[in-house]
């Protein structure tokens, strides 16, 4: 997976922060097995609400929390779903025009999605509008009597 992401980043001409997340737990391939170019910065974990506003786009699995963080940041959201509600969130993001579902982890699919998310003016504008709307919601306030 890491090798495909690195190749897609290189092919698309973008830079990436790559979080190993859960994939690092069961992998028999180590980071040293994949050559990491200077366009990629590998991390173990980072708060999405801090990182995403600094990014031009986010590519992730589509879990509710990660999707919410990328939409709140107002950046195009690319989702490669694996199971459960991730397919729902990929569909919603696509319907909003704030991103898209990535069909596979093939290098061509990933690089095409990265290029579109970082260059498509309409997608970027729609993501920005969604982010503005999400940030106006104060959430649930609970008072303890």
What confidence score (pLDDT) does residue 129 get? 97
pLDDT tens column, 30-89:
555 789 999 999 998 899 999 999 999 999 999 999 999 999 999 999 999 999 999 999
Question: pTM for the whole thing?
Answer: 0.87
* SS3 per residue for the chain: CHHHHHHHHHHHCCCEEEECCCHHHHCCCCHHHCCCCCCEEEECCCCHHHHHHHCCCEEECCCHHHHHHHHHHCCCEEECCCCCCHHHHHHHHHHHCCEEECCCCCHHHHHHHHHHHHHCHHHHHHHHHHHHHHHHCCCCCCCCC
User: Is the CATH number 2.40.10.340 carried by domain 2-136?
Assistant: no
Average pLDDT of the residues of the chain: 90
Domain boundaries, the chain: 2-136
């Amino acid at each position: 997976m890491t090798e495909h992401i690195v190749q897609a980043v290189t092919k698309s001409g973008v830079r990436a922060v790559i979080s190993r997340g859960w994939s690092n737990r069961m992998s028999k391939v180590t980071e040293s097995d994949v050559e990491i170019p200077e366009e990629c910065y590998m991390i173990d974990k980072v708060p999405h609400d801090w990182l995403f506003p600094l990014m031009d786009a986010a590519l992730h699995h589509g879990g509710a929390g990660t999707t919410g963080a990328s939409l709140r940041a107002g950046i195009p959201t690319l989702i490669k779903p694996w199971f459960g509600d991730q397919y729902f969130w990929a569909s919603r993001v696509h319907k909003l025009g704030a991103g898209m579902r990535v069909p596979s982890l093939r290098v061509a699919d990933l690089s095409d999605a990265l290029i579109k998310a970082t260059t498509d003016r309409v997608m970027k504008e729609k993501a920005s509008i969604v982010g503005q709307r999400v940030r106006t919601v104060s959430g649930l306030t609970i008072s303890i009597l």
